[in-house]
Amino acid sequence: MKEQNPLHKSIMLDEVIDILKPSENEIYVDCTLGAGGHTREILKTSNCNVIGIDRDPSALSLNDDEYKSYASRLSLVEGKFGDIENHIANLGIEKVNAIFLDLGVSSMQLDNAERGFSFRFDAPLDMRMGADGQTAFEIVNKYQEKDLANIIFRYGEERKSRRIAHGIIEGRKIKKIETTFELSDIIKKSVGGKYSKIHPATKTFQGLRIFLNDELKELYRVLIASEKLLHEGGKLIVIAFHSLEDRIVKNFLRYNSTSEKKYKNGELSHPFFYKNRRATKPGDVEIKNNPRARSARLRYAYKTELTSNKSDHNYRKYGGVDV
Ligand SMILES: C[S@@+](CC[C@H](N)C(=O)[O-])C[C@H]1O[C@@H](n2cnc3c(N)ncnc32)[C@H](O)[C@@H]1O
C-alpha cells in the first residue's frame, strides 16, 4: 500500500500506477487533482510530467511546498476538466500520454462543513465544487416543484422525489431553506417513517450536487476530448463512484473501443482498445481501510490511431440524463 494523505485517502492508487506505468518524459493529465494523492504518486514513480486540473481553487494550494519541489514537472490548472482541450492548448501542448479521472467530491470537500455538501454538518446550502454557478440554496428556493422532483429523481435516483419536492415547496412557504440541516429535516419529514442504514437525505443531496455542478455533462465532455488529446497508445483511466457516472464511461467505451486482440489483428475501426472490458473493483483490504472505496469502479482503455468525428458522439446514447 502507498503512503496516503490523511485528509483524503486516494482510491485504487496501486491499480492506477500499475495501469499507467509512469515513464520518463511522458505527460499525464490528472483531471481531478483533489488532495493530489494520485498526482504525487505518479510524480514520485518516474521522472514524468503531470498536469493537475481541479475546479476547486483550494485543491491547487493544498500541497504548496511539495508541489513547488515538482515545479519543473507539474503544471496546476484551476478549471473544469470538461474544458481540457483549452487547458492543454493554453500550456502549448498538443497531445498527452494519459488522461486520468477520479470522479466526485474529495473527503476535504465533504468534511468541510462550510461547503454545505453534507447533511452531517449544519452549514449554508452551497455544494459548489468551484467558485462559479448556482448554489443549492438558489435551486432549492427558486425552482418549481416539477423541476425539483426531476432533479432529485434523475440525478439522485430517489424514488420518493415527488414527496420530497412537495415538502421543499411547502417548507419554503414558511421560510427560505437556508441550511443543510433545514433541508435534511424537510426531507426526513417528507418521506416519513423509520429509516435504516441510508440517511433519507443521501440521494437528494447527491442529486442536487450532481445537477448544480453539471457533473455528468462534464464527464461526457472530457471523454469526448480524450480521443483528440491522447497519443496513440495513450491511456484513458476513469474511476466512478455511482451508476450514473459509470454508465456513461461504460457506454462510451462500449461504443468506441474494440478488444486488444482484434486491434492487434488489424481491426482499426475504433478510437480505443481495451484489455479488460469489465470494471476493476478495489480489493478487500482497501475497502476495509477505506469504506468510501466500496463503490469505486475503474475502467480504462488505450488510444488507437483512429479518431472519430465529434458528431459520432451523443450524451443520451451514452446514458447521460437531463432534467
Ligand atoms: C475524488 S477527488 C480527487 C482526489 C484525488 N485523486 C486524490 O487522490 O487526492 C475529486 C476532485 O475532482 C474535482 N472535480 C470534480 N469535478 C470536476 C470538474 N468537472 N472539473 C475539475 N475538477 C473537478 C473536485 O473538486 C475534487 O477535488
Ligand 1 centre from 180 Cα, in Å?
A: 22
Last residue of a domain, one of 153, 181, 212: 212
Q: How far is ligand 1, taken at its centre, from the CA of residue 206, in Å?
A: 15
Position 268 scores a pLDDT of: 87
Q: Please provide the average confidence, as pLDDT, over all residues in the chain.
A: 95
Q: Average pLDDT for residues 289-302, to the nearest whole number?
A: 96
Name the amino acid, one letter, at 51: I
The whole domain housing 75 covers 13-107+215-312
Average pLDDT estimate for 32-56: 97
Domain count, the chain: 2
Q: Does 209 contact ligand 1 (Cβ within 6 A)?
A: no
Which residue pairs from 18-26 have beta carbons closer than 8 angstroms and sit at least 24 positions apart in sequence? 19/235, 19/237, 19/300, 20/98, 20/100, 20/235, 20/237, 22/46, 22/48, 23/48, 23/97, 24/48, 25/49, 26/97, 26/98
Which three cell numbers mark 184? 435534511
**Over residues 155-173, mean pLDDT:** 97
Boundary residue ending a domain (212, 232, 255) = 212
pLDDT(63) > 90? no
Shared domain check, 237 and 302: yes
303-321 tens-digit pLDDT = 999 988 778 899 999 999 9
Residue 195 three-state SS: coil
CA of 33 to the centre of ligand 1 (A): 5
Nearest-CA neighbor of 143 among 211, 203, 217, 210?
Answer: 211
**CB of 82 closer than 6 angstroms to any ligand 1 atom:** yes
Q: How far apart are CA 222 and CA 32, in angstroms?
A: 11
pLDDT, position 283: 97
Phi/psi zone of residue 317: left (φ > 0), alpha (ψ -120 to 50 degrees), beta?
A: alpha
Cβ atoms of 243 and 272 within 8 Å: the answer is no
The answer to whether residues 97 and 27 belong to one domain is yes
**Which of 33-47, 152-166, 189-203 shows the lowest mean pLDDT across its residues?**
189-203
Quick check: is 29 in a domain? yes
Q: What's residue 223's pLDDT? A: 98
Per-residue confidence at 127, pLDDT binned at 50, 70, 90? very high
Inside any domain, residue 154: yes
What pLDDT score does 135 carry?
98
Q: State the pLDDT at residue 311.
A: 81
Query: pLDDT tens digits, residue range 83-96?
Result: 999 999 999 999 99
Which CATH number do you get for residue 163?
1.10.150.170
At 1, the pLDDT band (50, 70, 90 cuts) reads: low
CATH number of the domain within which 229 lies: 3.40.50.150
Q: Residue 53 pairs with which residues in a beta bridge?
A: 77
Domain edge (last residue) among 212, 229, 248: 212
pLDDT at 61 over 70: yes
- 38 is a domain residue: yes
Backbone angles phi, psi at 81, to 5 degrees: -75, -15
- Residue having the nearest C-alpha atom to atom 14 of ligand 1: 32
Of 32, 39, 111, 132, the one to substitute when testing ligand 1's pocket (max ligand atoms within 8 A of C-beta) is 32
Q: Does residue 102's CB lie within 6 angstroms of at least one atom of ligand 1?
A: yes
Regarding pTM above 0.95, the answer is yes
More confident residue, 292 or 28: 28
Is there a domain that residue 270 lies in?
A: yes
